[in-house]
Structure formats: C-alpha cells, structure tokens
Amino acid sequence: MSTKGLPKTAASIRSAAVIGSGVMGAGIAAHLANAGMRVLLLDVVPRQLTAEEERQGLTLADAKVRSRLALAAVARMAKAQPAQLYDAAWSTRIKAGNLEDDLAALGDADWIIEAVVERLDVKREVLAAIASVRRPGTLVSTNTSGLSAGAMVAGLSEEFRRHFAATHFFNPPRYMKLVEIVPTASTDPAVAGLLKEVCEKRLGKGVVIAKDTPNFIANRIGSYGMLVTLEDTLAFGLTVEEADALTGPAMGRPKTATFRMLDLVGLDTLLHVVDNVRERSEDAAERAVFARPPVLEKLVAAGRLGEKSGAGFYRKV
Ligand code: NAD
C-alpha cells in the first residue's frame, strides 16, 4: 500500500479545510486554527437574501452573501471563545467561503474534514466533490456521529479510501477532550496513526479507536441514555428543569446533563442519530428502543432545533 504525499508527521499538517460551518464545523475550524493551522471553512451558498442584505442592496451574486454561512460561523465562534482559552489571532487563520466557489482551493489542504448535516446521501455527494479536487495524499475525515464511514466512500478511488477515516469530535470541540477515530476496512494504518497523532499532539485530544458500527461507542451509549431519560421524564411528569437537576450535579454530572445538552447538540441531529441505529440494527429490541420519540419529532417539525434555532426543549436557549 502506498501513502505517497501523506504529511510526514502531525507537525507537517499546515493547512486544513472544514466543510459545513454549523455547530460542529465552526467549532472544529476554530480549534484547528488555534493549533496554528490555516483553515478554509466552507458551507453552501444561501438561496435567499436576508432582510438586512436586501437593505444594503446586496445580491445573491455578492461574495459576502455567497459565503454568509461560514462568515457568520466565524463571528459566532469569536463571540463564544473565552479570550483566555484561544490565542488572540486564531480567527485570522480562518478563511470563510462556500463549497461552490472555493472547491478548487481544497487542493491546497493537508487535511479536509467533512462536517455537513448527518445524512449519508449529502455526505457522499460532498466527499465525491472533495475527491474531484483533492491532492493525492491529503487526509480526509468525516465528523459523522455514527453513520457508516465505509458506506460514505464506497465507489471512490482506492487511494482516496486509504486516506479516509472518521474523526468524531464532541460538542463543543474546544472543551470536549474525546475524539473517536474510526478507520474503515480500507483505511491505511499509517493514516489512522497520523490522525491519532494530530488529534493528540496538535489538538490536545484523547483518542479512542472505534469500529465502524452504528453510532460508534460514545453516541451508542449516550443516545440510548438520552432516550431512556426522555421516556422517564414524560412518564413521571417532570419538567425539563427538574430532569436536568436530577440527572446533573445531583449525580455528579454537569448541569447540562440531559435536556440542556440535547439543545446544544441539536434536536434534528439527535433524530438522525436515533434513525441511524434503528435502521441499521438487526436486533428487534434495540430497534424498539431507538423508535423516534413523538415529542422530539414535534419539536423538530416546529423548527425548535435547540441552540442553533434559539429554542428546543427549553423555550429559550
Ligand atoms: P448543523 O446542522 O449545525 O450544521 C451542518 C452544516 O452543514 C450547515 O451549516 C449546513 O448548511 C451545512 N451543509 C449542509 N449541506 C452541505 C453541503 N452540501 N455542502 C456544504 N455544507 C453543507 O450540524 P452539526 O451539529 O454541526 O453536525 C455536523 C456533523 O457533525 C454531523 O455529521 C453530526 O452528526 C456531527 N456531530 C454533531 C454533534 C453535535 O453535538 N451537534 C456532535 C458530534 C458530531
């Protein structure tokens, strides 16, 4: 097997690209920039102008509009970063753009991280676009919460598949120490080793190597716990505040143990995670546990996605 073009060590990874500037992509981009990498952060091109953009006389062709999502993500992160945690210049190392106009620039990246919405079809499309421009040897990873990493790259070249694995960061990436690295059947061991080294040595993370099974390790257990707590909360007629108090500090866990955490994660993302286990499980009892909770479906249908939409289980997040 050849890994020609692969960065030699974690220290030689100078530039990265993150595709998807949502809750996770923005946080990962900020963390990489803080570690000294130049980062290109890309999202989709918006289809409509905001009222403010219309007022300013901008059109859908303006670069500022076309890269609005990634630009807004950097501004959001700048607000969220406690000054003492990151170096003062981290945001200057991030260039915000969009996947349509900046696709070719991915050819300059040493490491490309896919962090788009948790849907296999969308991820496959984005990874194929990356494959069309990426330099041989460039590391590519997905931040999926638990979709099959192998299925995402089926059909792409062997060289691409050798350089690909999942690097599952946790939310928020600036505080959460764990990264699950999930090699597929095609991942070169040298690639998995380099991803482990960069996560540990450059990003200060603790790495666990997981198998490419539904939701890997932490989310398989975590999402099960969340679903059972939700069921008990409804059965006992508790408020979300009471459930958070009972499952938080009283049990030696953080204040954000359950519903605050779900609002941070994104309720739509939790639904995708639950669907993923149910649809891929061969165990009827497990499929029953991972049924979609109606209350979660209702909140998502009403646009209450958690912190990213301003309301979730809590009316105001
Ligand atoms: P999000 O909904 O906040 O953001 C997703 C972003 O992807 C959006 O900005 C969207 O515009 C963009 N996007 C969608 N299609 C795209 C495309 N074709 N090209 C470019 N950008 C596109 O989601 P998130 O919570 O940041 O999750 C991203 C990934 O990270 C998912 O795979 C998710 O399962 C995983 N993850 C999420 C969490 C969490 O707590 N939210 C934790 C760990 C992993």
pLDDT at residue 242 greater than cutoff 70: yes
| Mean pLDDT computed over 147-154 | 97
pLDDT at residue 189 greater than cutoff 90: yes
Ligand 1 binding pocket (C-beta < 6 A) is 19-25, 43-44, 69, 99, 115-118, 122, 126, 143-145, 168, 170-171, 265-266, 269, 308
Write down the pLDDT at residue 16: 98
pLDDT at residue 8 greater than cutoff 90: no
User: CA 284, 152, 32, 107: dihedral to nearest 10 degrees?
Assistant: 180
pLDDT at residue 257 greater than cutoff 90: no
Domains: count for the chain: 2
| Mean pLDDT computed over 20-39 | 97
Mean pLDDT score of the chain: 95
Same domain, 183 and 227: no
Please tell me the residue having the least CA distance from ligand 1 atom 41: 265
Write down the pLDDT at residue 1: 61
Per DSSP, helices labelled H in 179-266 are 189-197, 218-235, 240-247, 259-265
Contacts for 113 with CB less than 8 Å, ≥ 6 apart? 16, 17, 18, 19, 25, 28, 140, 141, 142, 143, 167
The CATH number that applies at residue 199 is 3.40.50.720
Same domain, 225 and 181: no
pLDDT at residue 211 greater than cutoff 80: yes
Write down the pLDDT at residue 33: 98
How is residue 234 written in tokens?
């409804």
Measure 19 CA to ligand 1 centroid, in angstroms: 9
pLDDT at residue 254 greater than cutoff 80: yes
User: CB of 236 within 8 A of CB of 162?
Assistant: no
Measure 131 CA to ligand 1 centroid, in angstroms: 19
Report d(CA 114, CA 138) in Å as an integer.
Answer: 13
Same domain, 162 and 268: no
- Domain boundary (209, 233, 250) is at 209
- Domain boundary (165, 190, 209) is at 209
**Centroid of chain to Cα 130:** 17
Same domain, 164 and 283: no
Please tell me the residue having the least CA distance from ligand 1 atom 44: 145
Per-residue pLDDT reduced to its tens digit, 261-288: 999 999 999 999 999 999 988 899 999 9
Report d(CA 212, CA 154) in Å as an integer.
Answer: 14
Written as one letter, the residue type at 249 is P
Q: Is the ipTM of this complex over 0.90?
A: yes
User: CA 53, 58, 62, 66: dihedral to nearest 10 degrees?
Assistant: 20
- Mutate which of 144, 269, 275 for ligand 1? The one with the most ligand atoms within 8 Å of its CB, which is 269
Per-residue pLDDT reduced to its tens digit, 114-123: 999 999 999 9
Number of H-type helices and E-type strands within the chain: 15, 8
| Domain assignment of residue 122, given as a range | 10-209
In a domain, 1, yes or no: no
Per-residue pLDDT reduced to its tens digit, 51-65: 999 999 999 999 999
Per-residue pLDDT reduced to its tens digit, 64-93: 999 999 999 999 999 987 777 899 999 999
The CATH number that applies at residue 274 is 1.10.1040.10
pLDDT band at 134 (very low <50, low <70, confident <90, very high): very high
How far is the CA of 307 from the CAs of 104, 145, 218, 237, in angstroms?
A: 33, 18, 22, 24
Q: Which residue has the tokens 């460039």?
A: 138
Out of 32-41, 57-66, 140-149, 247-256, pick the least confident: 247-256
- Domain boundary (152, 183, 209) is at 209
